[in-house]
């Protein structure tokens, strides 16, 4: 087998340790050595660059390309699968070699990437989010029509459910459809026009059934949770990660620490809604107003969670923000109190741990998958990081550069 040597650069191994001068050797899709003075059959010159593990984004929607409601209404159903291929290419082009899709991608999309039909990051999928009637995932509009982000089809069941029995059946349907993780909306949201992100959705009894059914088949649950009551319900039920966490209060933070719950902040999402609206996208005025109203609260909640020591993994809600701009999340995390080294760990080893893949990805260490990103200059300079991505390798194969 060919030994590929990344040499002449500084290595960020993904653990949170500072960058250090070292070489990395990969062979047969795995990292085999990390250290000084190594040799290989083929050299990759990394002079003036930082070598890192492949980045991980724990919250994307690869089947969605725009939050413009009129564009969505006039886009043919099948077109979104072709757009997904483009979105996946843009994502891996940013150095994101693994993603967790938080709704939309079905098993066919995941398999197309696994089989090499489409270039993109490896995927964990949730298929479709669970929502109550009238909740964040119920796409009913005041006109009486529907404008659905995730139109049900044979590979993507509807996530709408009410009561423990319907919840149990819907979780089983998602798992049957190939879900690696169950996604639930435990609060309202910003982009949905008829609910409030501060209100709790699903009862504790419904959430208990959800978590138990997922666990019975080895899966965890991730929760779109913005308001404090819905966040606390999710944490108490044993849900693994809180997505967004806009209105965290002290009790919610303490509960997250007690239960070891992860926070995936998606700080860039409300900013992206505002930018899209300012650029002329057709977004309900109520949604734009909600986005403008949560930005500062979101930042403050995140900063308090970081200060308290809540576990953080990077996620962007890409689709709300353009695919391929994922790394714009990193400076926002640093502005919330994380050091650059902590941010890079949240984007590599910590994100891998949230996904249960800590023995496969997220670190440059012998035995790990050979996901490697080469970035011009010091990767701890987080601003403009995407523009400095020089090469991307996934499972030992160069996919960018």
Half-sphere exposure at residue 267, Cβ-oriented, CA atoms within 13 angstroms: 22
Q: How large is the average pLDDT for residues 343-371?
A: 98
Both 30 and 102 in one domain: the answer is no
**pLDDT value of position 137:** 86
Both 235 and 98 in one domain: the answer is yes
Q: Is the pLDDT of residue 47 over 80?
A: yes
- What's the mean per-residue pLDDT of the chain? 96
**pLDDT value of position 238:** 98
**pLDDT value of position 34:** 98
pLDDT digits (tens, 9 = 90+) for 152-200: 999 999 999 999 999 999 999 999 999 999 999 999 988 777 788 899 9
pLDDT digits (tens, 9 = 90+) for 100-132: 999 999 999 999 999 999 999 999 999 999 999
When pLDDT is cut at 50, 70 and 90, the band that residue 15 belongs to is: very high
- CA neighbor of 363 nearest in space, from 93, 17, 8: 17
Both 105 and 26 in one domain: the answer is no
Q: From CA 51, how far away is CA 31, in angstroms rounded? A: 13
Both 22 and 148 in one domain: the answer is no
Q: Which residues are 122's β-sheet partners?
A: 98
**pLDDT value of position 110:** 98
Both 9 and 135 in one domain: the answer is no
Q: Is the pLDDT of residue 73 over 90?
A: no
Looking at the whole model, is its pTM more than 0.85? Answer: yes
Both 35 and 89 in one domain: the answer is no
**pLDDT value of position 40:** 96
Cβ-count burial of 377 within 10 angstroms (0-12 exposed, 13-18 middle, 19+ buried)?
middle
Both 59 and 49 in one domain: the answer is no
pLDDT digits (tens, 9 = 90+) for 288-326: 898 999 999 999 999 999 999 999 999 999 999 999 999
Q: From CA 152, how far away is CA 363, in angstroms rounded? A: 37
When pLDDT is cut at 50, 70 and 90, the band that residue 270 belongs to is: very high
Q: Report the range out of 96-100, 137-141, 197-201 with the highest average pLDDT.
A: 96-100
**Residues in Cβ contact with 40 at an 8 Å cutoff, skipping those fewer than 6 apart:** 3, 4, 5, 7, 25
Q: From CA 301, how far away is CA 266, in angstroms rounded? A: 12
pLDDT digits (tens, 9 = 90+) for 380-391: 999 999 999 999
Both 386 and 324 in one domain: the answer is no
Q: How large is the average pLDDT for residues 81-103?
A: 98
**pLDDT value of position 149:** 78
When pLDDT is cut at 50, 70 and 90, the band that residue 285 belongs to is: confident
Domain that holds residue 239: 55-354
Q: Is the pLDDT of residue 36 over 90?
A: yes
**pLDDT value of position 9:** 97
Q: Is the pLDDT of residue 363 over 90?
A: yes
Q: Domain containing 80 — which CATH number?
A: 3.20.20.140
**pLDDT value of position 56:** 98
**pLDDT value of position 274:** 93
Both 107 and 207 in one domain: the answer is yes
State residue 49 phi and psi, 5-degree precision.
-130, 165
Cβ-count burial of 76 within 10 angstroms (0-12 exposed, 13-18 middle, 19+ buried)?
exposed
Both 338 and 369 in one domain: the answer is no
Both 173 and 44 in one domain: the answer is no
**pLDDT value of position 352:** 98
Sign of the four-CA dihedral 319, 321, 324, 327: negative
**pLDDT value of position 20:** 97
**pLDDT value of position 308:** 98
Q: From CA 333, how far away is CA 168, in angstroms rounded? A: 36
State residue 379 phi and psi, 5-degree precision.
-65, -20
Both 138 and 149 in one domain: the answer is yes
Q: Is the pLDDT of residue 141 over 80?
A: no
**pLDDT value of position 229:** 97
Q: From CA 210, how far away is CA 172, in angstroms rounded? A: 9
DSSP string, 242-301: EEE-TT--HHHHHHHHHHT-EEE--THHHHHHHHHHHTT----HHHHHHHHHHHHHHHHH
**Which residues are catalytically annotated?**
183, 317
- Take residue 56 and report the two structure tokens written for it: 């991980």
Q: Domain containing 386 — which CATH number?
A: 2.30.40.10
Helices (H) and strands (E) in the chain, counts: 12, 18
Number of domains in the chain: 2
Q: From CA 394, how far away is CA 126, in angstroms rounded? A: 22
Using DSSP, state whether 109 is helix, strand or coil: helix
């Amino acid at each position: 087998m060919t030994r590929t040597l990344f040499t002449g650069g500084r290595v960020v191994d993904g653990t949170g340790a500072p960058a250090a001068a070292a070489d990395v050797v990969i062979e047969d899709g795995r990292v085999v050595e990390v250290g000084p003075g190594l040799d290989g059959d083929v050299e990759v010159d990394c002079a003036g660059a930082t070598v890192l593990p492949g980045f991980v984004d724990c919250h994307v929607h690869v089947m969605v390309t725009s939050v413009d409601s009129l564009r969505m209404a006039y886009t043919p159903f099948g077109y979104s699968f072709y757009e997904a291929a483009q979105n996946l290419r843009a994502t891996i082009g940013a150095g994101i070699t693994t993603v967790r899709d938080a709704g939309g991608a079905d098993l066919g999309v995941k398999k197309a990437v696994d089989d090499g039909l489409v270039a993109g990051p490896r995927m964990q999928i949730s298929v479709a989010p669970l929502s109550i009637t009238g909740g964040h995932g119920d796409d009913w509009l005041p006109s009486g029509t529907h404008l659905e982000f995730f139109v049900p089809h044979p590979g993507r069941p509807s996530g709408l459910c009410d009561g423990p029995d319907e919840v149990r059946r819907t979780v089983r349907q998602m798992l049957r459809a190939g879900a690696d993780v169950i996604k639930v909306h435990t609060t309202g949201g910003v982009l949905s026009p008829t609910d409030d992100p501060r209100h709790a959705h699903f009862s504790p009894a419904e959430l208990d059934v959800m978590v138990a059914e997922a666990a019975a088949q080895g899966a965890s649950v991730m929760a779109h949770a913005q308001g404090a009551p819905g966040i606390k319900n999710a944490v108490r039920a044993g849900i693994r990660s809180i997505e967004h966490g806009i209105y965290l209060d002290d009790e919610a933070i303490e509960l997250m620490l007690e239960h070891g719950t992860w926070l995936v902040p998606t700080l860039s999402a409300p900013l992206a809604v505002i930018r899209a609206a300012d650029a002329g996208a057709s977004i309900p005025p109520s949604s734009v107003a909600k986005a403008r109203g949560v930005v500062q609260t979101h930042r403050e909640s995140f900063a308090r969670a970081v200060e308290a020591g809540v576990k953080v993994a990077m996620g962007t809600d890409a689709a709300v923000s353009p695919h391929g701009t994922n790394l714009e999340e990193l400076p926002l995390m640093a502005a919330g109190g994380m050091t650059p080294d902590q941010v890079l760990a949240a984007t590599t080893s910590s994100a891998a741990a949230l996904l249960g893949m800590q023995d496969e990805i997220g670190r440059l260490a012998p035995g790990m998958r050979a996901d490697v990103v080469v970035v011009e200059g010091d990767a701890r300079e987080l601003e403009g990081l995407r523009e400095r991505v020089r090469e991307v390798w996934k499972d030992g194969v160069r996919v960018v550069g």
